[in-house]
Structure 1
Amino acid sequence: MTKVLIIEDDPMVATLNQQFIQKIAEVEIIGNVRNIQDARALLAKESVDLLLLDVYLPGMTGLEFLAELHEKKMKVAVILITAANDVSTVKEAIYYGVVDYLIKPFTFERFKLAFEKFQELTNVTQEIQATDQSQLDKYFNSSRLINEEVPEFKNQEELPKGLSRFTLKKIYYQIKQHQSSFSTEELAGEVGLSRISTKKYLVFLAEIQVLEEEMEYLEIGRPLTLYRLNQAKTNDVHRYINE
């Protein structure tokens, strides 16, 4: 059973995080604490598989705690859950190898996606017996993992080369939050990808008619391509994202 430690100074958010993760899977909540000092005390006597970690905490920030875990070489997966959306924070989180980065407020679907990513990576690393390329690809290439290695996914449609099923799912869930048209740059900022990478997925979704395109003509420069979810075609994307 997955052992989870929640570190969040806002009691309401902490309760919500615990409710979300208990709704997704059978887990053991080792603790739900408000500061790093209490978290450190729990980690000293309990093994933990996953931290749900806030950044802005009293006394010591979540990033400072990540640095401490890194220095001590403590092997624990981390999903960062925070209101911090500045680039420097994101870069530091990536450096310390967080599983995912959730910006408050987030939906249950987005939280579920982050936990599923943790589960996928955990399952793959537990399976690895040797460091040959095919085994490593299972860890680093999620689209290959889903398309080739997991039996229940074999009947799914194949994605175009260069697209990841996990990333497509992440982008699709974010698109569903939009009530109106959006641009590539806007969505890229929300999902934490480059504009070029995000554009590839938007083009694909437009090709299968899940997205509708419209042009916004500006006074200066090139016209802006905007996208809108085509509600009549949303089921078509489920063939690619395991739903």
Structure 2
Amino acid sequence: MIRVMILEDDPMVRDINSKFICKINGFQLCAEAGNLKDGMELLIKHKPDLLLLDVFFPKGTGLEFLKWIRKEEIKCDAILITAESALEAIQEAFRYGAVDYLVKPFTFQRFKEALNQYRSRYDKFSGITTASQQTIDEYILIKQEISKEEEDIVKGLNYHTYSQIWDYIIENKKEPFTAEELSENIGMARVTVRRYLEHMLKEGKLELELEYGKIGRPCHKYKRVLNF
């Protein structure tokens, strides 16, 4: 069982993440903290395998906390879960050993994939003292997948979120559709859905239709281009 600690100053986000953890097999929540001082004490006390770490705190940052972990040579991996999407922060997080970086808001599916990917690597190295070239190569492959996610974050779009929206559009027979309808059906924020739809428009995968009513602005409806 992989023991997880959450370090997040927002009680609502802590509660959501803790419930997410309970839904994923192989993980157990061992501690929660809302500030960096308590986080240091609980990390030393509970010795978690994995830390879910926010960046923004009233006093200090999660990146400073991550540096402290490395300086103290504490054996704990970290996944950053934050609203911070600046390239410099992302690069610094990976530089200090973060195994993944999730930008809020994110879906449960993306959260689950991050933890399952971590578990695959964790299980691969459990109980061994030396590693074969094949094992190392498999570890590198996981790191390459993480780098792909980093690239997606830099662009402001997440590959898995994009795929989730596009897969639904392909499977959905009802056309045309609005961002509001899509948002409601897949359980994702409307502003997030609209951002991905606009990107798909630029790619030429979607067409935009304006439906004019008697009052107010025209309704934006999207339709998939048939050759995609």
Same fold, judged at TM 0.5 (above): yes
Contact 1:83 1:104 in 2 (8 A): yes
Counterpart Cα distance in 2 of 1:50 and 1:165: 16
Contact 1:77 1:118 in 2 (8 A): no
Counterpart Cα distance in 1 of 2:146 and 2:92: 26
Secondary structure (helix, strand or coil) at the match of 1:20 reads helix
Aligned to 1:171: 159
Within 5 Å, give how 1:45-124 maps onto structure 2.
45-124=45-124
TM-superposed deviation, 1:172: 4.0
Aligned to 2:23: 23
Contact 1:53 1:79 in 2 (8 A): yes
Contact 1:53 1:80 in 2 (8 A): yes
**Equivalent residue pairs, number:** 176
Secondary structure (helix, strand or coil) at the match of 1:51 reads strand
Counterpart Cα distance in 1 of 2:103 and 2:142: 23
Contact 1:8 1:34 in 2 (8 A): yes
Contact 2:205 2:224 in 1 (8 A): no
Task: Establish whether residue 182 from structure 1 lines up as the match of residue 221 from structure 2.
Answer: no
Structure 2 letter corresponding to 1:182: H
**Shift in CA distance, 182/138, structure 1 to aligned 2, threshold 3 Å:** same
TM-superposed deviation, 1:99: 1.3
Please report the TM-score for the alignment, with normalisation by the length of structure 2: 0.66
Larger Rg: 2
TM-superposed deviation, 1:142: 3.8
Contact 1:6 1:32 in 2 (8 A): yes
Aligned Cα root-mean-square deviation (Å)? 3.4
TM-superposed deviation, 1:171: 2.4
Secondary structure (helix, strand or coil) at the match of 2:79 reads strand
Counterpart Cα distance in 2 of 1:28 and 1:213: 41
Counterpart Cα distance in 1 of 2:70 and 2:13: 26
TM-superposed deviation, 1:27: 3.1
Please report the TM-score for the alignment, with normalisation by the length of structure 1: 0.62
Secondary structure (helix, strand or coil) at the match of 1:176 reads helix
Q: Which runs of 5+ in 1 are unaligned?
A: 144-162, 187-201, 203-211, 216-227, 234-243
Counterpart Cα distance in 2 of 1:26 and 1:133: 27
TM-superposed deviation, 1:117: 1.3
Contact 2:110 2:160 in 1 (8 A): no
Aligned to 1:222: none
Judge which range, 23-32 or 100-109, deviates more: 23-32
Counterpart Cα distance in 2 of 1:230 and 1:41: 55
Counterpart Cα distance in 2 of 1:29 and 1:40: 16
Structure 2 letter corresponding to 1:50: L
Counterpart Cα distance in 2 of 1:21 and 1:59: 26
1:195-237 alpha-carbon deviations (Å, 9 max, x no partner): xxxxxxx9xxxxxxxxx8469xxxxxxxxxxxx9799x9xxxx
**Shift in CA distance, 22/104, structure 1 to aligned 2, threshold 3 Å:** same
Secondary structure (helix, strand or coil) at the match of 1:98 reads coil
Within 5 Å, give how 1:182-221 maps onto structure 2.
182=199, 213=205
TM-superposed deviation, 1:7: 0.5
Contact 1:99 1:117 in 2 (8 A): no
Contact 2:79 2:101 in 1 (8 A): yes
TM-superposed deviation, 1:130: 2.8
Secondary structure (helix, strand or coil) at the match of 1:182 reads helix
Contact 2:3 2:27 in 1 (8 A): yes
1:112-171 alpha-carbon deviations (Å, 9 max, x no partner): 11111111110122265534322211211249xxxxxxxxxxxxxxxxxxx969969x72
Q: Which runs of 5+ in 2 are unaligned?
A: 150-157, 166-192, 208-222
Judge which range, 25-34 or 88-97, deviates more: 25-34
Counterpart Cα distance in 1 of 2:125 and 2:225: 38
